[in-house]
Structure 1
């Protein structure tokens, strides 16, 4: 069916009847009781639809264990009623205000990522030779929570553009609507015409279209702007990449399609329903099941493994835009993505030679008024959905990094940890809790591969890992590597579309940036007096300005000495970066620069005493017994104000008492405790790495042991569960707990259960808590010294036990 026809199609008679049937069933009281019984697994007489069935204590505890504890710790590893079914879809289906079901133009529904991904996995499985798919942001991001009230309301009740933006001059003033939107917080137009941001539209189900976002506003206004911008067809990706667990990704191009499509009325939904024999309310949209069929029908070959060590060729840091433009221009069979990439290269060159000012491409939420804290400044405004609390932010950043590492592995792209992410890795293999974004670097060659093949690509996480959806966005000015030429120091971002949180991606390459790294300057001081390249010819001297001559000379010197830099001007020696070594970050294999500690020391103050009493950063202290950084208020609440200084040497007995007391103060502390315990495997791995790195073994022996360690820890449990599923489970848990609390007559009933479950979990954790080396798995050379770094921080039974003398594990790079 042609796209233009599809945009105008109405729901087929069979689909309408199906939706009506389930809408009627969904509001039937007996079906609600059935759902409640299934959720709570309660006992009693199911024939009465008026009776509130209350779960027993053990049943409520089983629900909490299954949803929030690691599967190995839960009594029931299969989550209770943790599915998205046809009944859930039809119950949430809504219609455009004032329209009848059979005259429906845009059927809306409550977003669930499992519904979308299950449908697309089945669709791709059925159309392997036609890898072009329709796309609407409404099906991939929860726009409905903001826009469904507008879609279902009558037109006079909807806002108009003048209700969303305000103008300063009289020529642009217009009277706001007389409805509730008259007092809605408005964004400033800043002397731009209203039409450049917004136009009223009878074609849009919400009554207007947003063309451009103004972040200088209050959070409520930005949420409406960003949701409406995407709903109106803004920033539609060119391609989707569906990651497979330990296998090649499946890719699909996006069709050029009009806005205001919805899976609830699409051929893709009909195709899914027809492929399942049972059209009952318990028909499950199960992405894990559907992706298996896609894997079985995919014939892609897996990508080659780069191995434990990876040498970087100096050519990877060099890029010639003129040669690339010439090469692509001569090709007669460019794809749409390659055309877009070529146009971006030509546009940047035009700006360079014409002297046109380059503009800032990425816009963050730092302009949003009244943020609750500084962490909220690091969200892309196009995907802003409101302020993000601490633990949700940590879950999303964990998912972002794990998916980025899986994506680059799948597509054979080179990247490594940088800046605050590299700094955080050194301590625990996890991010700092006070940092609001992650940082990676790439050679410029890989950056351009990312731009040409994957710019504006939506990466969909494997359902066995989670339900994250992330946009790769590369800014147009990536060929200029010189400091001060670009408003954006960031080349690309990997963006969580649910919140706008991101990973900063920075290209590293040769440039004419002046060397500012004092360590590298000192190291190369003796080389500055030697010939730094071919002499400039007299003709070249006559045609070049003195500024250009200085720039060319600096570029030649940097190439001759293997000095590369980011756009920001931060410089590195290629020998500091290469060879890249494989380690683990957030439980996933990651590339680490050769001299990681040296690079981190150039940027941060790092003391050699890794986890000692003076180790404090950003009002946080590291607690080795928990493998985590704790902010001082939390640490005081956990250990008491008098014991904060001794947090680095807490015993197992003290730790168990502290955790139980912490939980007793508030059941809401369970999230912190779960995070600390779930991080243990990753911290244990990092400690064992440090034991090898800080030993006196030869470099080859260290590499051999570190590679063996990688194999022994092939899979590490993530520190946080999937953010999307967690939010769904939290909502269900609160409903379940509130029903139980109301029936029992105590608001503490569910909290008591949480505390008891968590205390049992803590008891098991303490009993199994060991940070000793797997010496039976690692063959230690006979002539080596004892590897003490890891065993130093093994929990002692009692605080009276003596500690080993602390090695200065951060005194120097292990590879030097």
Structure 2
């Protein structure tokens, strides 16, 4: 190490060693077979390479070590690190085991925004923001500019300039913008796969790979070729879906910038009969240029409230085109020659304290009464009228004041009019998924077609990061706005064991009463919901379907009522509403119906308030007969109705529903009387199963679950009663780790046969592991570099421990109901705020990953060092588990703090008063 103490010599020495190893044969030949002049030339090239690599490493390192201590305008560089090896170790631990929301670098005007990241001019700086042809919408840039704009120029009635360019990930798409020579037409977006030679040409021109996942498809021997039929289909798809970007060229002519923020073509409609990496860029183009922009931007204030800003609808200008960045810099930076850092935290805090913050504070329409608001205590009590909604009355109310309606109210009114006047047989499919993607095993169906951004399911960690960000932002959104919505189906099942989704699930399931779905639609439909920038970078479109008043399965096109969609990946949370309907009861409720049918009778006491006579209340068979002589209906509509009639007649004989012989009007009245509510996929619940809702933690943030969640799970799954050694989907739940582990990995870490010399042997059986053997599992995990599982166990230990304490309180028989309620509230108040995120923010992870890729070639950071770091983490988790085994909750580490807390309530972790083998035999009692 040199006297400066930097890591540069080590990084340089490592890279130089790798370079020499790769080029040793060539150098050897040169020294023995070439003339002296040739050899001298080679040595000079090596020397120049040394200087270049040394400078490159120093620049990379300096960028990695820029401080984060507020707005900086000083011209002095940051001091170098004292211990570079220590820094690399810290980066490794942060990359895998630190979930704190903390950027690893600063974001600066000259270093980042004005420096061209790729293309023929890579590394050059433009003189001003006006000369930018593309930029990455780094959150620190966006939030600094937006917060300043809201303080200085916005009001509650001022629409915000908006472009998807600033609010979604266009990092890889941007690489196409400088590819002026290579990208000549839009066929590139519509081939079954990329034209391999054109792909190589574009990447050569931009100096960057366009994508990383599935690169092997193009790196095999013999590049993939198009058949004649594929070429014809590609051209047809392109001709029908893509046009010249005339607006961009007009703007370029005016500004003098060629291809600014454009590749020259606009995708007007999406075609998914292509591979994921192709559809990804096609969808990004469509998102940027064609997709409707949101009605509003909803900014979360942690989980305690929200701000909502209307969005300008007649333009789609990004922050450069609208001049927002230029105005911000003019106000914030008086000396552009000095280093300027975008301090988004200070700017956002300034907004929070401003008058603009007060004027933009969101007031939810439809939740005036405190009793109707969720998350106001341990329990949220739903009312029976929450499960019924009179849309026709709402239409009358809104229509009476059309002149004063907000954008959200007008949109909601139009949706109600469409839904109530459309027979369920003709309801068009609202949500679309790219189910036709090639070579993706139907996984495209788990994405919204508009926001698909690559085959991230090929990357398990990236998938988990995205899913985690989505669910925690959604739960914070619900709490901030007091909306009643609870975990359901697979998400509720996963929560049961450790407060987390099943790690193999690639979606989340939630339910809400129909009344709160209408509140959601009225206030948030087509709103871009963004996470508080002090906590994360989640960005999600709240989208409610167009058949909101249809409460049976209908034609099967719209079983989902709404979605919370990640605009950076296309992954989504399905939101389904429960309501009274005329659906036939499921067999799960046959006993309940038989017990109560005499008291209910067959008289129609309640009618569906959303049906219009002779329009939407017409039974299928009557509708079919009507269509035969009505020329206003198309042949396709006749075929659709005929198909529904045939399906009903085919399924009816085998239908075991206890109410299948009742009329639709009778079924609606019976379901209303019995308090039986269903979603459009015919999942029924009884009123007392979901009211009351119980406050809990899911993925470390506040959430709600039904009070009878065991009963609900047993209706839907063969939910086991035990808490230990559960095997499901080829995974085993290890109670000592409070985590699920794949079978092959468990067998490897147990090393029962002693085949791995560097791993210890586990002696107790997997279904009854001793604490000492759980410790061995963790150490073997570290030694074998099973880093994903080790980080998952370590990073989730807090929420899984919280859930373990909840299970004790909810199911134990040693506490009275009053004691349980008191202790659960104290657990939430004292421990809940301390829970750390189980995963880092995806954007933070991406930045750390890029740094690690640049810096991890240091030969001194070898496998042995990494194993030592892994063992440190394993030891930390073992110490945590040891405290649990001793009966203490390790959240409070100080003796004095634990003693003080114990005065208020019992912080000890008691053994379950009932056998862990049948702990889930019945619902918890509160």
CA contact (8 A) 1:248 1:410 kept: yes
Q: Does 1:90 align with 2:114?
A: yes
Alignment partner, residue 829 of structure 2: 711
SS of equivalent residue, structure 1 residue 346: helix
CA contact (8 A) 1:398 1:586 kept: yes
Alignment partner, residue 157 of structure 1: 182
Quick one: distance in 2 between partners of 1:375 and 1:700?
A: 47
The correspondence of residues 687-766 of structure 1 with structure 2, limited to 5 A, is 687-696=804-813, 697-715=815-833, 716-738=835-857, 740-741=858-859, 749-766=861-878
Change (3 A) 1:255 1:79: closer
Alignment partner, residue 277 of structure 2: 220
CA displacement at 1:521 relative to structure 2: 2.1
* Unpaired runs of at least 5, structure 1: 1-27, 43-48, 168-175, 793-804
Quick one: distance in 2 between partners of 1:451 and 1:445?
A: 10
CA displacement at 1:88 relative to structure 2: 1.2
SS of equivalent residue, structure 1 residue 344: helix
**Please, which of 252, 261, 286 is the counterpart of residue 229 of structure 1?**
286
CA displacement at 1:292 relative to structure 2: 0.9
**Please, which of 585, 590, 597 is the counterpart of residue 703 of structure 2?**
590
Alignment partner, residue 523 of structure 1: 592
Alignment partner, residue 248 of structure 1: 305
SS of equivalent residue, structure 1 residue 466: coil
Quick one: distance in 1 between partners of 2:102 and 2:691?
A: 45
The correspondence of residues 396-411 of structure 1 with structure 2, limited to 5 A, is 396-411=466-481
**Please, which of 629, 637, 641 is the counterpart of residue 740 of structure 2?**
629
* Unpaired runs of at least 5, structure 2: 1-51, 67-76, 203-223, 249-261, 365-369, 623-661, 754-761, 890-897
Alignment partner, residue 521 of structure 2: 451
Q: Does 1:386 align with 2:454?
A: yes
Alignment partner, residue 241 of structure 2: 197
Change (3 A) 1:41 1:444: closer
**Please, which of 202, 206, 220 is the counterpart of residue 263 of structure 2?**
206
Alignment partner, residue 369 of structure 1: 438
Q: Does 1:677 align with 2:702?
A: no
Quick one: distance in 2 between partners of 1:496 and 1:91?
A: 29
Residues 486-525 of structure 1 show CA distances to partners (whole Å, capped at 9, x for unaligned) of: 412111111111111111111111111111042x321231
**Please, which of 698, 713, 724 is the counterpart of residue 600 of structure 1?**
713
Change (3 A) 1:94 1:635: closer
**Please, which of 468, 477, 489 is the counterpart of residue 559 of structure 2?**
489
Quick one: distance in 2 between partners of 1:438 and 1:535?
A: 37
Q: Does 1:267 align with 2:323?
A: yes
Change (3 A) 1:375 1:287: farther
Alignment partner, residue 410 of structure 2: 339
CA displacement at 1:568 relative to structure 2: 0.3
SS of equivalent residue, structure 1 residue 530: helix
SS of equivalent residue, structure 2 residue 920: coil
Quick one: distance in 2 between partners of 1:411 and 1:457?
A: 14
SS of equivalent residue, structure 1 residue 815: coil
Alignment partner, residue 4 of structure 1: none
Change (3 A) 1:509 1:672: same
SS of equivalent residue, structure 2 residue 827: helix
Alignment partner, residue 919 of structure 2: 809
SS of equivalent residue, structure 2 residue 502: coil
How many residue pairs get matched? 731
Q: Does 1:239 align with 2:296?
A: yes
SS of equivalent residue, structure 1 residue 575: helix
Quick one: distance in 1 between partners of 2:363 and 2:190?
A: 50
Alignment partner, residue 467 of structure 1: 537
CA contact (8 A) 2:119 2:175 kept: no
CA contact (8 A) 2:737 2:793 kept: yes
Quick one: distance in 2 between partners of 1:36 and 1:96?
A: 20
Q: TM-score, normalised by structure 2?
A: 0.72
Residues 3-31 of structure 1 show CA distances to partners (whole Å, capped at 9, x for unaligned) of: xxxxxxxxxxxxxxxxxxxxxxxxx9999
CA contact (8 A) 2:161 2:315 kept: no
The correspondence of residues 628-667 of structure 1 with structure 2, limited to 5 A, is 628-640=739-751, 646-666=765-785
Residues 572-611 of structure 1 show CA distances to partners (whole Å, capped at 9, x for unaligned) of: 1111100111111111111111211111111111111121
Alignment partner, residue 433 of structure 1: 503
CA displacement at 1:301 relative to structure 2: 8.4
Residues 7-61 of structure 1 show CA distances to partners (whole Å, capped at 9, x for unaligned) of: xxxxxxxxxxxxxxxxxxxxx999966633425669xxxxxx9xx9997422321
Quick one: distance in 2 between partners of 1:180 and 1:83?
A: 31
CA contact (8 A) 1:38 1:81 kept: no
Residues 125-176 of structure 1 show CA distances to partners (whole Å, capped at 9, x for unaligned) of: 2234254211111122222412x3332233x632534454479xxxxxxxx9
Residues 181-236 of structure 1 show CA distances to partners (whole Å, capped at 9, x for unaligned) of: 99689799799986652223343432221122122321122112111101213132
Q: Does 1:609 align with 2:752?
A: no
Change (3 A) 1:334 1:266: closer
Change (3 A) 1:78 1:341: closer
CA contact (8 A) 1:237 1:254 kept: yes
Quick one: distance in 2 between partners of 1:365 and 1:628?
A: 33
Quick one: distance in 1 between partners of 2:198 and 2:773?
A: 62
Q: TM-score, normalised by structure 1?
A: 0.81
RCO higher in structure (CA 8 A, sep ≥6): 2
Quick one: distance in 1 between partners of 2:771 and 2:426?
A: 61
Alignment partner, residue 637 of structure 2: none
Cα RMSD between the aligned structures? 3.9
CA contact (8 A) 1:458 1:472 kept: yes
Residues 81-116 of structure 1 show CA distances to partners (whole Å, capped at 9, x for unaligned) of: 35555411111367999xx99997872023423222
Higher Rg of the two aligned structures:
2
Quick one: distance in 1 between partners of 2:395 and 2:239?
A: 36
CA contact (8 A) 2:783 2:870 kept: no
CA contact (8 A) 1:511 1:555 kept: yes
Quick one: distance in 1 between partners of 2:352 and 2:838?
A: 27
Residues 376-398 of structure 1 show CA distances to partners (whole Å, capped at 9, x for unaligned) of: 64121211111111111111111
Change (3 A) 1:677 1:441: same
Alignment partner, residue 568 of structure 2: 498
CA displacement at 1:79 relative to structure 2: 6.3
Quick one: distance in 1 between partners of 2:905 and 2:131?
A: 72
Alignment partner, residue 581 of structure 1: 694
Quick one: distance in 1 between partners of 2:689 and 2:305?
A: 31
Alignment partner, residue 60 of structure 1: 88
SS of equivalent residue, structure 1 residue 367: coil
CA contact (8 A) 2:724 2:917 kept: no
SS of equivalent residue, structure 1 residue 528: helix
